[in-house]
Amino acid sequence: MPAVSKAQQKAAGAALSAKRGEIKVNDLQGASKDMYDSMSARQLEDIAATSREGLPEHKG
């Protein structure tokens, strides 16, 4: 499932970093914290791997 905005792609990247132990879970906030709690590492990889080219900054 590809990201629909640059903000979503960035949040997924942060959540994935926390899943991998590269950053502390306590450093997450907002959407990245929600994604960490509700998505698997594979789902986060799919979103984070989306090319940012052509994506809007925010969905809406």
Q: Which pLDDT does position 22 carry in this prediction?
A: 97
Question: What is the tens place of the pLDDT at every residue in 22-40?
Answer: 999 999 999 999 999 999 9
Q: Report how far residue 30's alpha carbon sits from residue 42's, in angstroms, rounded to the nearest whole number.
A: 20
Our separate counts of H helices and E strands in the chain read 3, 0
- pTM surpassing 0.85? yes
Alpha helix segments (H runs only) across the chain = 6-19, 31-38, 41-48
> Taking all residues of the chain, what is their mean pLDDT, rounded to a whole number?
95
